[in-house]
Amino acid sequence: MFQIGRRNLLRAAQSLVLASLSFSALAQGDATPARIVVGFPAGGSFDAVARLLAEKLRVELKRPVLVDNRAGAGGRLAVDVLKAAPRDGSVVMLGPDALVALYPFTMRKINYDPAKDLAPIGTVTEYPFAFIAGSEPPAKTLGEYIAWARKNPDKTNYGVPARGAPHHFFGIVLSKAIGVRMDDVPYQGSAPMLVGVMGGQISAGIDVLGSPLEQHRAGKLRILAVSSEKRVPQLPDVPTFSELGYPGITGMGFNALYAPPGTPKETIATWNRALVKVLALPEVREQLVNMGALPVGKSPEELAARGAEAAARWEPVIKASGFVAD
C-alpha cells in the first residue's frame, strides 16, 4: 500500500509540475523571440526607434522582441528578409516611407511590390522636414532668406543628406513655391550637411526635424520653418510653411511596421494592438518627441492610405525632376 501511495504521490507531483510549467508558459506567452528587422545600422535614428519599440512590445506581446539590423540599399535589403520570413508574426520590419513613396519611382528596378510584399501593421512615427539656415546668409526668418535668395540666385542652394532622398524632392517643391531656383548639394549623411550649413559652405539645408534640433537650440543654426500642418511641440516658436503663406509645402515623412506578405489578419491585428498600446505610453511618447518625431499608432488601413497618398504626392515631383538612381 505504501509503495502504491508513493507512486501515486510522485505521479501527482509530476502532474502538478507540468501543470505549473504549462500555466507559466501560458502566462509568459511565446518564449520564441520575435524580430524587428531594420534596414539601417545600429546606432542610427531608425535603430533607436526600433529598440524603444522592442523593449515595450515584449510586454504587450508576452514574448522577447529583438532588433535585427540588415543595413543596406536604403532599407531595401530588409525587405528581402521580410519577404522570406515566416507568416506567423515572428518577423516584422520597421521601414521608411521611401519604400512605398519614393523607390518605386526613383529606381530603375526594385525587388518588391509595395502593394503586395509589405503588409501594413501600423504607422509608428511621423516627422516634419525642417528648412535650416546658418551663418551665411544671416537670415533669421524664411521671408528674409527668400528676399536674399532672390537677390543672390547664383548663391542659392540647399544641402541634403543624400540625393534621391525625401529631402531632395522636398527642396524641389520648395524651390518652385518660392519662385527661386535652388540647386541641391548632396552630402554623405546629415552630420556633414549640417556642418556645411553652419560653416556657410551652403546657404541652407533640408533635413528631418530631429537632425538639426540640438544645433538649433544651441544657436549654431536656425530652423526657419517646418513642413507640418501645425507647429510641433519640440519647437513651438518655429512657424510652419503654411502659416507663412506656402500651404503647398506641407507634408510629413513617416516610418512604419510591416509584416511579411500573406500574414493572417489576426496576426497583424495582434501586432497592431500591441503597437497602439506602446505608442500611447507617456514615456514612449516623450522619448520619440525628444528624437524629433511624433508618435502615431493607428490602424493598418490608415498606414495603407498614408502610403498611397505619399506615393501619389511624390510620383509627379520625381518624374518631373528626371531623377533616376544609379
**DSSP annotation string for 40-107:** S-TTSHHHHHHHHHHHHHHHHHTS-EEEEE---GGGHHHHHHHHHS-SSSSEEEEEETHHHHTHHHHS
Q: State the residue for C-alpha cell 493607428.
A: 298
Residue 112 sits in the same domain as residue 132: no
HSE, CB side, 13 Å, CA atoms: give it for residue 236.
Answer: 1
Please indicate, yes or no, if residue 220 is contained in any of the structural domains.
yes
Q: Is 235 a domain residue?
A: no
Specify the pTM. 0.87
Residues 316, 274 share a domain: yes
Angle, vertex CA 231, rays to CA 228 and CA 234, nearest 5: 105
One-letter amino acid identity for 183?
D
User: What per-residue confidence (pLDDT) applies to 5?
Assistant: 40
Q: What is the pLDDT confidence band of residue 305, given thresholds at 50, 70 and 90?
A: very high
Burial 116-142, CB ≥16 within 10 A → b, else e? ebbbbbbbbbbbbbbbbbbeebebeeb
Domain ranges, residue 220 = 128-226
Domain assignment present for 34: yes
Residue 96 sits in the same domain as residue 169: no
* Among 226, 242, 270, residue at a domain's last position: 226
On whether residue 84 sits in a domain, the answer given is yes
The string of pLDDT tens digits covering residues 88-102 is 999 999 999 999 999
260, 222: one domain? no
Give the residue ranges of DSSP H helices in the chain: 2-28, 45-61, 76-84, 98-101, 103-106, 114-117, 142-151, 166-178, 190-198, 213-217, 265-279, 282-290, 300-321
Let me know if residue 37 belongs to a domain: yes
> Taking residues 42-57, what's their average pLDDT?
94
- Same domain for 148 and 181, yes or no, is yes
Are 221 and 269 in the same domain? no
pLDDT at 26: 31
The CATH number given to whatever domain includes residue 143 is 3.40.190.10
Task: Enumerate residues 6+ apart whose C-beta is below 8 A from 306.
Answer: 123, 254, 256
Question: Same domain for 118 and 261?
Answer: yes
Using CA atoms, how far apart are residues 307 and 132, in angstroms rounded to an integer? 27
Assess if residue 161 is contained within a domain.
yes
In a domain, 139, yes or no: yes
N-term to C-term CA, the chain: 84
Q: Is residue 205 part of a domain?
A: yes
Question: So what's the pLDDT on residue 201?
Answer: 94
Residue 102 and residue 169 in one domain = no
Spatial CB neighbours of 262, under 8 Å, sequence gap ≥ 6: 87, 119
Q: What is the mean pLDDT of the chain?
A: 90
Say which residues have a Cβ less than 8 Å from residue 140's Cβ, sequence separation at least 6: 222, 224
**Predicted pLDDT at 29:** 59
- In this prediction, residue 16 carries a pLDDT of 35
Q: How many residues does the chain have?
A: 326
- The reply to whether 135 and 219 lie within a common domain is yes
As for how many domains the chain has, the answer is: 2
10 — pLDDT class (breaks 50, 70, 90): very low
Mean pLDDT on 176-199: 93
Does residue 111 share a domain with residue 50? yes
